[in-house]
Structure 1
């Protein structure tokens, strides 16, 4: 049987792959695993549930709440809120678990369920496997006064806004850390459609809001962090200093500068790392990034005296490295940025606040980004191959070694097998677009020849 949990919870086509019945069963299993591990401090087990605005989230969050309550867990329903807000509130309310019903940046028909342990932390593989093992097991059902209660707690959104605004105030030492910044925010018709703009305004920014009218059907539809053209146009139209875009559950943030040029997660992390180093709060002068971060980021960080610790692709691996070693900044090129002093997961609203504060105090985003060059990057997917031999075939290893030698410090080669398909991803960075394409195409040809099924 295939593993139910993916890299970020359980996800699939709502009401087909992810049904109400499965949501109830997952909630019951999670209650048995996560609530039993908690120290209840004299109260019954408690959970926080939030969701993004997609229409299927209405019945799926109701199913999750029903499952938890049937297992004797009290439920605080915060309704539509970003994933990082649910993680924060799981910790601040001392809940034993948190649940988010969201498919993040996926299209509207999909949905997902992800869990947080006590303290608002993502689950490790062993805990997810324990939850899967509980599915379908017989269990003693509480009755009468022992069943869980459902409490609507939408007012907790204000607590999250205060938290993220307080974080940027603490970092800058200013009451209005974004004062003087004219900023466009694209909320992707998603979970941050209300709290994102409110937090930015509370921090002093002059905010123009676009794509913040969720109707349950329009989340991520041609907008947000995966579709930046509307943000670019709005920044130019309004003469804004910058723009930020969230995805559906607002755990990621990308930006554009005043010229409409994209500022990806690598550049955001690099700017924050330099600012935090200057403030003396970048632990061990270290940034955690995945193997997909651009070589230009590595060059810029080396010049600034900042070390990069690399992890596998996925924010969960970045989080693991940060928690194990006490690092305070990490993330991905896609815009997941983790500031561990203030958040236990990627937080798009917090990232936008921090980036806006750099513009308020340090000049244009365009000029600041000049110190972090981006090398041309080409990704070629080679299908129909035996991905298990990507790191053991000697001829392929020789071809990769030769390309790396020729590129030297001005380029990079990475071969990654897909986790689910007979496919290998060939990524090449080089000083020119032509070189990147030439090496990528050449290595893709070797992969196809040597690993063909």
Structure 2
């Protein structure tokens, strides 16, 4: 049971780490925890298109209703519709069966137990209850409900606000990746008056068209080719459950999440001087610089849905970009919705009156490594302490691992929550600056430097 509980959710390889029996136990534990904390035992339930989702969702509902939960079953929906339904219906808790961007053999659970995202303490308590097979027999119920019409009305209203008339003249290519937006995102965009070409638009939990993680540039090759072939202005790709989004420009090139973030900053922040914008610890320094340039206040937060969304809600932040392709918005009560984000970017593109490739090429660009994953079987804590101790305290952040700010860049080392490994990332304003930052960051720990490729 321990291995499937991650920092923000539950995930594992279906049939081995994650089974129906474990999910049934988690369902019962959710109901028990809600009751013990004096909350209404009413739970919203949804699921993605993975082949294992129907049986896991049935097990979840069995556990919930067996311990007295009144469940509202949304059926198969993208995760943004799940969060929308929770806001619209006022249901206090929810469980979405999905492994998000993970490969097809995986599955998992995203949980909401109150107004703020699920906390580490709550996940630990759920894990203990589920491991003990704790349940409190009581009559429960399941009511099926479709939220699609309500969400459609919301999105079309948002499109009217976000899209100038010229946006309807721009051609889009939409790639749901055979995931939860398949058959829906393209139709909604067409209903909003957009010109839409489609790729991988049939829901298939095997994800035959491409990997469900669109934040890897090579996974957007098909989308980029289609954008060029159709002469489209923008390519839009979603992950398996539809909360992440990635973009391709009019030349078919993947747009980095940092570049997308900066374009969104330019679109949103100038209209609200002093707006707070949360960004995750892995975002480029160029993002924070752009927030300041546009009159906003950048707030750094550790990576992860729970941490970013909670900070957005606590700070009343305007929005929050995350390096992984999640974009959180205050107007969505801190939620992330890949399709809504695509509308914001499309509106900004139309108002700019220039090709997306031109806008992207004009953005500041620093030399940034991808995540560098290094196997480290020992305890990483002493190693991280040595890095932190080697630099002045005002240069060091312990928000997530160790991040050291240098004059011309930064370095980051974070322990993995899923395996015996460290993830590192380095950035400099130029490539020589990046190399100098990396050398200085690793100097206190030569044994770690020796492990880098």
CA-to-partner distance for each residue in 1:267-299, whole Å, 9 max, x for gaps? 22222222222333x6x3221101110122233
Measure how far apart 1:212 and its partner are: 1.5
TM-score w.r.t. structure 2 length?
0.86
Partner of 1:324: 314
Measure how far apart 1:207 and its partner are: 0.8
Measure how far apart 1:323 and its partner are: 1.4
CA-to-partner distance for each residue in 1:375-412, whole Å, 9 max, x for gaps? 121243343354112332279825998xxxx9954322
- Helix, strand or coil for the counterpart of 1:114? strand
Partner of 1:237: 229
- Helix, strand or coil for the counterpart of 1:107? coil
Unpaired runs of at least 5, structure 1: none
Change (3 A) 1:114 1:219: farther
Q: Aligned equivalents of 2:133 and 2:54: distance in 1?
A: 26
Change (3 A) 1:417 1:68: closer
Partner of 1:346: 336
Instruction: Give the aligned CA root-mean-square deviation in angstroms.
Output: 3.1
Partner of 1:209: 198
Change (3 A) 1:277 1:216: closer
CA contact 1:184–1:244 (8 Å) conserved in 2: yes
Change (3 A) 1:6 1:223: closer
Q: Aligned equivalents of 1:368 and 1:231: distance in 2?
A: 19
Change (3 A) 1:90 1:118: farther
Q: How many residues align?
A: 436
| Structural mapping, 1:290-309, within 5 Å | 290-309=280-299
Partner of 2:401: none
Change (3 A) 1:107 1:164: same
CA contact 2:275–2:318 (8 Å) conserved in 1: no
- Helix, strand or coil for the counterpart of 1:429? strand
Partner of 2:48: 52
Match of 2:160 among 151, 169, 185: 169
Q: Aligned equivalents of 1:188 and 1:133: distance in 2?
A: 36
CA contact 1:177–1:203 (8 Å) conserved in 2: no
TM-score w.r.t. structure 1 length?
0.86
- Helix, strand or coil for the counterpart of 2:412? strand
Q: Could you tell which deviates more after superposition, 200-209 or 66-75?
A: 66-75
Unpaired runs of at least 5, structure 2: 396-403
- Helix, strand or coil for the counterpart of 2:204? coil
- Helix, strand or coil for the counterpart of 2:205? coil
Partner of 1:376: 367
Change (3 A) 1:214 1:395: closer
Q: Could you tell which deviates more after superposition, 353-362 or 28-37?
A: 28-37
CA-to-partner distance for each residue in 1:42-70, whole Å, 9 max, x for gaps? xxx43221111110011101111122222
